[in-house]
Amino acid sequence: MTTSTIGDIVYYDCSGTKQIKPDGTNVRLALPDEYGDPSNQSFAGGARWYLVVRVTERLPRFENRQIVDFVDIQNIFAVNSITGDEIQVTDFAGSYLWIQSLKCSWSRDTCDQLITFAAQDEHEYATVVGGQIGYDFGIGFKNYALLGTHLLAINTSSRDIDAAYHSGQSFTPTTRRGVASVTVDEATDTTDFTISPSGLLGAYGHGVCGPVCVVETFTGKKVLELEAGSRDASWTPGNNLLYSTQDGIGICEFANRRRSLITKEAKRDQEVLSDPKASPDGSYIAYKAQVSPEGSRCESRIFVVHADGTGRTQVGDRVVDVIRWVAD
């Protein structure tokens, strides 16, 4: 297998973040230790900038004007994979945004031009009690379970962050005003949001039960809804859509809407497949398999297949998340 143009796989397991060749060789540990989304591009010394979500503040939650709990306020940070140095990318103080699943990602255009994520806007629950700013989820106009999710994008690239880091200049975090929003009619319980390499389409899911939906990024118009149970949407370099279902890993050729399963060698009675990701050149697909062999405990592994689903190879085990492919 030639790997010079295929890329490496980055994933997170119980021992930390790892970067590995698609044939399972050359395993390297990276920072941060927890889940983070790595930039496709690498910089000085091979460092990548990983996006992570950090809690930066805690505000009180009130019931009947009494503090009963605290609510975490989150922001996005970029972590250098070699030094561990961090740069704060967002400043959402006073914005009342809750980042879904505590995850965000670089756009899949190989140039890391955008940071995308899904978030709930909780500003209608903001209140002030005794001079303290906080939350009261009993005062909102909506049932919280029906609160819509915003699909958001920040026009900050990994190059912007790396240039600021090496120049010694301070990096100005993006506030809510600087975040572009894709407005959709139905985006409750949205778990992820990813923009196609062309920048024209966005895909998002609805929890563990789906379905995956695709919208035009400029209008928010829904142009495709996959079958119930579809989830884990991601894009190939050719702007086709990968996803997982109870039957395995599927692909939708977007030009003609043709759908097919690509996991021909999967053992469906023993495996639950998820998180498909295409290599930078589109020739390989990595995915996670939750394996339950007879008489054995359940564990997750990474497999790599050719784009047509053949040639399955295991490259990692004890996996928490398949994160993405990156340029090698």
31-235 CATH pick, 3.40.50, 2.120.10, 3.40.720, 1.10.10: 2.120.10
- Asked if residue 50 lies in contact with residue 31, where contact means CB atoms within 8 angstroms, the answer is yes
Amino acid at 76: I
Q: What are the φ/ψ torsions at residue 176 (nearest 5 degrees)?
A: -55, -35
Q: Which residues contact 236 (CB under 8 A, 6 or more apart)?
A: 242, 251, 278, 282, 307
Count of CB atoms situated within 10 Å of the CB of 253? 14
- What is the rounded distance in angstroms from the CA atom of residue 103 to the CA atom of residue 192? 8
Q: Are 191 and 100 in contact (CB under 8 A)?
A: yes
CB 244 within 8 A of CB 227: no
DSSP code for 90: B
**Are residues 222 and 235 in contact, defined by beta-carbon separation less than 8 angstroms?**
no
Helix or strand holding residue 272 (H, E)? strand 271-278
For 309, other C-beta atoms within 10 Å of its C-beta total 18
Q: Where are the domains of the chain?
A: 1-27+242-328, 31-235
pLDDT at 181: 84
Query: How many residues does the structure list for the chain?
Result: 328
Chunked mean pLDDT (size 10), the chain, 328 residues: 69 89 89 91 94 95 94 96 96 90 86 90 89 86 68 93 94 92 66 86 82 89 90 92 92 91 71 90 92 66 91 85 84
Please state the pTM of the whole predicted model: 0.89
**Can you tell me the distance from the alpha carbon of 148 to that of 316, in angstroms, rounded to the nearest whole number?**
37
Q: How many helices (H) and strands (E) does the chain have?
A: 1, 27
Give start and end residues of each alpha helix (H) in the chain.
158-167
